[in-house]
Structure 1
Amino acid sequence: MKKFFSVILLALLAFGALVGCAGRTYEIALVTDVGNIDDKSFNEGAWTGVKNYAEANDISYDYFRPAEDSQAARVETIEAAIDKGAKIVVCPGYLFETAIFEVQADYPDVAFLILDGEPNNGDFSNDGANLVYETADNVHCVLYQEEQAGFLAGYAAVQEGFRSLGFIGGMAVPAVIRYGYGYVQGAEKAAVDLGLATGAVTMKYYYVGAFEGSDALETKMDGWYAAGVEVIFSCGGKLYTSVVAAAANTTAGKVIGVDVDQQAESDRIITSAMKALTLSVEESLEAFFDNEKAWPATLAGKTRTMGAVENGIGLPTAAASWRLTNFTVTEYNALFADLVDGDIVVSASTAAEPTVTKIVVDYDA
């Protein structure tokens, strides 16, 4: 009999625990894109910002992951976060543009922070003539000058001594294109500054069409390294897993990471072209909560673009992350200052490939 009541008690305790968990609410919610909060890239950078701010200010927080990669799943997950009490929903990535466009008017008392995108209807028909952008007052958007981060990475690679470069992008979306075209411009600038002969620096350039690694991508990267490519800028989500795996199959193949400092993932990663994802989330959340849980007028319905001037992009300069031996941190800081001062201007255009005269880029690699 005692055993019977013990089992019943344990069952009731377990049920109570489940009910307690089910009833928990969270003021700050992050909804991931196709990745997860441990992707060592975009989601994780944003999640770290949420976590840092929430824990420093004793605010409840959690993350929610869509069941699949679809508009319906993203909307459903955003609504699930709101049902859990979210006062603000952080949405990392351009995939949320159409989802926020759909829900922003339905939840005027909920704030949304979208990184790398602006709400729009996603209608690219008729050569984009039907595309409508609309950012409600309960939404704040943050964009980054990826072209500057890519520029720094390309410049550093050539100054380091690499002459055969590669660029792998996830999808040909604006942020990825800006990274890639900035990388091209940086390599070109370094070749000019070093007085290299035309064609002394070459680059293979390719968009995968996905943000996940694969056996097929690793095989392609094996081919690039075998053909003489020395360093590859891996730009997008978990693509780096395949690029790093291919680099590890070589004697000296190197990789450049993206979005966050990825040096801990492999000793083959020599630097990373970063966005200040964590900082931008922390600053946005601070502005929201300091204004009584509403966007201040300077942010409500507006887009903030972060570049070198705002310390919104860069390469990591900590000793553990700086794996360049010829190009120094001092030289990097001088280059960064030129971006801040406007002495160097990197084109953000995605309409056409950058004009180069020194390096040779194979866009069909």
Structure 2
Amino acid sequence: MKKIISIALAVMLVATSLVGCAGDKDKGNTGDSGNKPIKGADITLITDKGNIDDKSFNQGSWEGVVEYATKEKIPHTYIKPEEATDSGYLAAIDLAVEGGAKVVVTPGYLFEVAIYDAQTKYPDVKFILLDGTPHTADYADFTIKENVASIMYAEEQSGYLAGYAAVKDGLTNLGFMGGMAVPAVQAFGYGYLQGAEDAAKELDLPDGAIKSIYHYTGNFEENDTNKATAKTMYQEGMEVIFACGGSVGKSVMSAAKESQGKVIGVDVDQRYDSETVITSAMKGLSSSVMSVLDSIYKTDKWSDFGGKSTTFNATNEGVSLPTIVIGDEKADAFDRFEKFSKEEYETLFKSLENGEVEVKRTIEVKDPSGNATAEELTSQLNLKKVKVTTR
């Protein structure tokens, strides 16, 4: 990421703070903080490019903050920087700390450089960096200081669950639309193909029985181009598309609705956004945030997380497909599958949890962009049942 100097920062704030009386509801206010410090929040989350209701990374992380802080009656807020740059993120961190934040939560790899600087600038503040590791802008130094918890996720496992479920459900044409070929998105896609491969083997399908179109959009946006790409993939026979790119998912859902196609969501349960979403490859954003906050406020075990990277996976609520429908305890979260059941899912998940199934997270890609060729995917992921094409 480029370091851009001398920017003008305007920060838009939506605050949710708690009063100390038992039984009081979470109260909020909205406003434009300008360049003034935000006062009174012990925990501040700073969003990346997206919004707090992006149905993805920001929202999932914020929900963890809200749930924990509400339960423990801790004042909390979030800031959306207007400038999505290293300098812009650091300026937002400045505002949070000036306002009294003791804990700053930053969701996404875009904060890596800003947190690298902030960890030295604010040694008494604890930083929770989700999906990233602090480093210098030139990637020369990756020091994680004791006041930073670097939280990573086994996206390859979550993608594996989704690909396996799709094939077990009878789908044989699986599309993948990732945003940019960054490590997390790559891992989702590689796991998706491996899950499809293993399910096809269990079903004793012939080689090449599963067709997959694999594509990176080059952005994380909802736009007409991404919608058109998804629509073309459906027209070419893709029955389902794993939409793995933030707001790219909205474009895919729109195309699916017009094409009678299906969608696999990402990061959080996106079934509530569209009837086309059959399941979602989720990260345990909320649970991981709450675990780290608990180490600060209750258990005094910050040393379990501070100064290092911790990966959340199948063993510690780090990955999953949705197993409940929010607001309806009797509902079946697998009701949008034709065949795949919760019982099958639980058996599969157990195999990940106990290490019976190992999923490859990385492969060697020659292109500096990170975009793998069909040959690289096929050979390094050992695909036989899955015939993949890239574009």
Q: Structure 1-normalised TM-score?
A: 0.89
Q: Which amino acid aligns with 1:152?
A: L
Determine which of 248, 252, 255 is the counterpart of 1:239: 248
Partner of 2:266: 258
Check if 1:358 corresponds to 2:385.
Answer: yes
Aligned equivalents of 2:37, 2:187: Cα separation in 1? 42
Q: Which amino acid aligns with 1:311?
A: E
Check if 1:348 corresponds to 2:361.
Answer: yes
Partner of 2:295: 287
C-alpha displacement at 1:320, in angstroms?
4.8
1:245-324 equivalence runs, <5 A: 245-250=254-259, 252-290=260-298, 296-318=302-324, 319-322=331-334, 323-324=336-337
**1:112-145 alpha-carbon deviations (Å, 9 max, x no partner):** 0000001011325xxxxxx321101000011010
Q: How many residues align?
A: 338
Partner of 2:202: 193
Check if 1:213 corresponds to 2:206.
Answer: no
Determine which of 319, 328, 343 is the counterpart of 1:330: 343
Aligned equivalents of 1:305, 1:22: Cα separation in 2? 33
Partner of 1:136: 145
Partner of 1:5: none
Partner of 1:12: none
Structure with more helix by fraction: 1
Q: Are the aligned partners of 2:37 and 2:99 in contact in 1 as well (CA < 8 Å)?
A: no
SS in 1 for 2:360: coil
Q: Are the aligned partners of 1:140 and 1:301 in contact in 2 as well (CA < 8 Å)?
A: yes
Q: Are the aligned partners of 2:37 and 2:98 in contact in 1 as well (CA < 8 Å)?
A: no
Aligned equivalents of 2:32, 2:302: Cα separation in 1? 38
Structure 1 residue runs of 4 or more that deviate by more than 4 Å after TM superposition: none
Q: Which amino acid aligns with 2:321?
A: L
Partner of 2:52: 37
> RCO (CA 8 Å, sep 6+): is it higher in 1 or 2?
1
**1:216-271 alpha-carbon deviations (Å, 9 max, x no partner):** 11011111111111000000211111000000112x30000000001000110000
Q: Which amino acid aligns with 2:126?
A: A
Check if 1:175 corresponds to 2:184.
Answer: yes
Partner of 2:136: 121
Aligned equivalents of 1:234, 1:18: Cα separation in 2? 33
Aligned equivalents of 1:351, 1:28: Cα separation in 2? 39
Determine which of 18, 28, 38 is the counterpart of 2:43: 28
Q: Structure 2-normalised TM-score?
A: 0.83
Partner of 1:3: none
Percent of pairs with identical residues: 44
The RMSD of aligned alpha carbons is 1.8
Aligned equivalents of 1:283, 1:324: Cα separation in 2? 32
Higher radius of gyration, 1 or 2:
1
Structure 2, unaligned stretches of length 5 or more? 1-30, 325-330, 366-376
Partner of 1:127: none
Aligned equivalents of 2:247, 2:201: Cα separation in 1? 33
SS in 2 for 1:249: helix
SS in 2 for 1:206: strand
Structure 1, unaligned stretches of length 5 or more? 1-16, 125-130
Partner of 2:111: 96
Aligned equivalents of 2:257, 2:305: Cα separation in 1? 45
Aligned equivalents of 1:142, 1:273: Cα separation in 2? 18
Aligned equivalents of 2:106, 2:235: Cα separation in 1? 39
Aligned equivalents of 2:245, 2:91: Cα separation in 1? 25
Q: Which amino acid aligns with 1:327?
A: F
Aligned equivalents of 1:42, 1:91: Cα separation in 2? 10
C-alpha displacement at 1:290, in angstroms?
2.2
C-alpha displacement at 1:149, in angstroms?
0.2
Aligned equivalents of 1:350, 1:212: Cα separation in 2? 26
Q: 1:230 to 1:280 in 2, by over 3 A?
A: same
Q: 1:18 to 1:31 in 2, by over 3 A?
A: closer
Q: Are the aligned partners of 1:263 and 1:321 in contact in 2 as well (CA < 8 Å)?
A: no
1:33-72 equivalence runs, <5 A: 33-72=48-87
Partner of 1:81: 96
Q: Which amino acid aligns with 1:271?
A: T
